[in-house]
Chain A
Amino acid sequence: MPGLKDVMESVKESQVWKSVARNPLPSNARTRALAVLNNVFLHLHPVRAPQSGIRLKYTWCMGGLTFFVFLVEVITGILLMFYYRPTVEFAYADIIDLREQAPLGLMRELHRWGAHTMVITVWLHMMRVFMTGAYKPPREFNWVVGVVLLLLTLLLSFTGYLLPWDQLAMWAVTVGTNMARATPFVGYEGPGAALLKLGDINLVHSADDVRFALLAGRFVGEATLLRFYVLHCVAIPFVATILMAVHFWRIRKDGGISGPM
């Protein structure tokens, strides 16, 4: 009888295994390097890095966790999209269905608590970067990219808030967007808006100011729901993904994880 070891051996010798894994299991310097270099995901990393930057103590793995939770959001979000229709007629009922009918009814929970978590981890990541002075040259620009990512994270969460179409959603978004109408010059209640007129005609009014652009209307309604849905599921994730790619690329190009000179 062949033992487990022999079975493992023959699996590792098979054409299928070799075609997938390409390298032998990492066991020495050469194979460890290959494991990182030959894998599209792992090659975000360098092959070797200073231990000071790798230790959990230094980075708290906070950036990594933020990215991981983002992936959780993408996966659970895609699953939610199978069930959810962004219309006033269906949105709320679809959310109830998600709870009562959909198999593996945890997706909404995972997505919601994941969103809260991502906001927290991104703040903590930023604090870590600040406390280690990792925004100093040559990493200034990556910090700026990070600030935009922070903003996008908050906007993702904010646009998602509206989608369940319950009281909490509608009024939180109403409160949040009310401020926009006071934007100087481009909000109709903002300072300076009254100065922008042609003869007697006000150029900035409640039906064309920034708040109107955000809500696609003067109130939170059906058009807002669609607008927030597209922003939440497509537009912002699209931009955020690109910026994350830039962020990770720049970490490598700026000399890898920071450390004392």
Chain B
Amino acid sequence: MIKIIINWLALPYMYVSIAIVLFFLTIRSRKLWTGKAGGLLLLGSILFLAYSLTDEHFRGLVTRPDNVPIVMLLFAVGFFVWFALKQAHENDERVMQGKPLDEVAWKDKVFVWPNLVYTELICMVVATIVLVVWSIYIPAPLEQPANPSSSPNPSKAPWYFLGLQEMLVYFDPWIAGVLLPGFIILGLMATPYIDKNPKGNGYYTFKERKFAITIYLFGFSIMWVLLIINGTFLRGPNWNFFGPYEPWDIHKLVPLNNVNLSEFIYVKFLGTGLPKHWFFREIFGIALVVGYFAVGHWYLAKKLLKRFHDLMGPVRFHLMAFLLLVMVATIAKMYLRWTMNLKYIIGISEFFFNI
């Protein structure tokens, strides 16, 4: 019974929505869970993992040698997000009480030998032990020899690219595989030049950098890590979607009748049939995309984030706004696909230009 509910909760739009809500809840209520509640949460998730391991399909997935690091990633990200926010919260409390930051209280210089060198040594020893034990217990997998004429189903990219492979469901390869990763790298590189907030340099804090930290953690935990989990555990044969306790059935049939925006408008709504020329066919989509970015930039700069606009200057601000709008649009497109089977907003297959 629980498994049926969880399989249902694990449908893409369900669990992504839940994750997004949970994300903002945790950010809001960091006071609560950076304390004891965090420990309870960890205990709960371990119990959940233990319970899930009783399911044969789930066990088979999670204990696949190459999937073990992904389970570790999940717990590591959870732990370190908690650990960073806990220190941030403690510092924020200290500032409110007029006490110095924890880092300031410990700012005295000490000798690197032994204080740092020993810590590093211990870290190295622990890492070595972990790697050796891991290697003894889990042999590196090797499948059948490469065979160009038989592709496995599902064919998956290496796990750290699964978020991008997931994007292939919603976008053509030039967006999923080229544009989006390009924006991620560009955005990361530009971060120090975009973020003009002088506060929070060299210590943990949340209050002084609410916006930056929220965006970063959202991008990392939801858009990157969650989609990796999704790609590893919930995507089965034909890249179909499967609940965590649902066996991977190659013959699972998912009706695929995705519809372009142009068809929605001309065929379903106006009932006139598609215009011949691509420009008239796609005019609504083009207007929607251009309008989204134009209004988005205007609204962010003049209303929602006016404060930042004045602080950062137009170039920085619009670069940031653009990246932000792309991120939001990506999620929006995913939801449109899940709820309305929308295929392309702009579909000019004449030039391989589909959005």
A residues lining the B interface (CB < 8 Å): 26, 29, 32-33, 35-36, 42, 45-58, 60-61, 64-65, 68-69, 72, 88, 92, 95-96, 99, 106, 108-114, 116-117, 119-120, 123-124, 127-128, 130-137, 139-140, 143-144, 147, 150-151, 154, 157-158, 161, 164-172, 174-176, 178-184, 187, 189-195, 219-221, 258-261
- Residues of chain A within 8 A of B155, CB atoms compared: 171-172, 174-175
- Nearest 9 CB-CB pairings of A with B: A179-B177, A109-B135, A182-B173, A140-B192, A170-B146, A116-B69, A258-B202, A182-B174, A52-B103
How many A-B residue contacts, CB cutoff 8 Å? 284
Tell whether B109 is near chain A: CB-to-CB under 8 Å.
yes
Q: In whole Å, how far is B222's beta carbon from the nearest beta carbon of chain A? A: 14
Q: Which residue of A124, A172, A190 contacts B156 across the interface (Cβ within 8 Å)?
A: A172
Asked if A170 and B147 make an inter-chain contact with CB atoms under 8 angstroms apart, the answer reads: yes
Tell whether B129 is near chain A: CB-to-CB under 8 Å.
no
Asked if B69 and A120 make an inter-chain contact with CB atoms under 8 angstroms apart, the answer reads: yes
Interface residues on chain B, size class: 35 or more
B residues lining the A interface (CB < 8 Å): 66, 69, 72-73, 76-77, 80-81, 83-84, 87-88, 101-117, 119-120, 123-124, 127-128, 131-132, 134-136, 138-148, 150-152, 155-158, 160-161, 164-165, 168, 172-174, 176-179, 185, 188-189, 191-193, 195, 197-205, 209, 212-213, 216, 220, 351-353
- Closest residue on chain B to residue A111 by CB atoms: B140
Asked if A147 and B144 make an inter-chain contact with CB atoms under 8 angstroms apart, the answer reads: no
- Closest residue on chain A to residue B353 by CB atoms: A191
- Closest residue on chain B to residue A210 by CB atoms: B178
- Closest residue on chain B to residue A174 by CB atoms: B155
Q: In whole Å, how far is B34's beta carbon from the nearest beta carbon of chain A? A: 13
Q: What are 8 sample pairs from A and B whose C-beta atoms fall under 8 A apart?
A: A46-B112, A54-B119, A109-B139, A134-B201, A143-B189, A171-B156, A174-B155, A260-B107
With the chains together, A119 CA to B285 CA distance in Å?
A: 39
Asked if B109 and A48 make an inter-chain contact with CB atoms under 8 angstroms apart, the answer reads: yes
With the chains together, A52 CA to B148 CA distance in Å?
A: 55
With known contacts A45-B116, A64-B123, A117-B69, A260–B104 Cβ distance under 8 A: yes
Asked if A144 and B112 make an inter-chain contact with CB atoms under 8 angstroms apart, the answer reads: no
- Residues of chain A within 8 A of B123, CB atoms compared: 56, 61, 64-65, 68
Asked if B189 and A147 make an inter-chain contact with CB atoms under 8 angstroms apart, the answer reads: yes
- Residues of chain A within 8 A of B160, CB atoms compared: 119, 154, 157
- Residues of chain A within 8 A of B76, CB atoms compared: 120, 124
Asked if B204 and A132 make an inter-chain contact with CB atoms under 8 angstroms apart, the answer reads: yes
- Residues of chain B within 8 A of A48, CB atoms compared: 109-112
- Residues of chain A within 8 A of B103, CB atoms compared: 52-53, 58, 259-260
Name 15 extra pairs, CB < 8 A, besides A50-B107, A124-B80: A49-B109, A52-B102, A68-B123, A119-B69, A120-B69, A120-B76, A123-B73, A131-B84, A133-B202, A144-B192, A158-B158, A181-B173, A191-B352, A191-B353, A259-B107
Q: In whole Å, how far is B123's beta carbon from the nearest beta carbon of chain A? A: 4
Q: Which residue of B112, B199, B202, B351 contacts A191 across the interface (Cβ within 8 Å)?
A: B351
Asked if B131 and A113 make an inter-chain contact with CB atoms under 8 angstroms apart, the answer reads: yes
Asked if B178 and A179 make an inter-chain contact with CB atoms under 8 angstroms apart, the answer reads: yes
With the chains together, A137 CA to B200 CA distance in Å?
A: 11
Q: In whole Å, how far is A131's beta carbon from the nearest beta carbon of chain B? A: 4
Q: In whole Å, how far is B159's beta carbon from the nearest beta carbon of chain A? A: 8
- Residues of chain A within 8 A of B164, CB atoms compared: 179
Asked if B131 and A92 make an inter-chain contact with CB atoms under 8 angstroms apart, the answer reads: no
Q: Which residue of B115, B168, B203 contacts A132 across the interface (Cβ within 8 Å)?
A: B203
Asked if B146 and A166 make an inter-chain contact with CB atoms under 8 angstroms apart, the answer reads: yes
With the chains together, A192 CA to B178 CA distance in Å?
A: 14
Q: Which residue of A123, A131, A191 contacts B204 across the interface (Cβ within 8 Å)?
A: A131
- Residues of chain B within 8 A of A157, CB atoms compared: 158, 160
- Closest residue on chain A to residue B177 by CB atoms: A179
Asked if A137 and B107 make an inter-chain contact with CB atoms under 8 angstroms apart, the answer reads: no
- Residues of chain B within 8 A of A96, CB atoms compared: 142
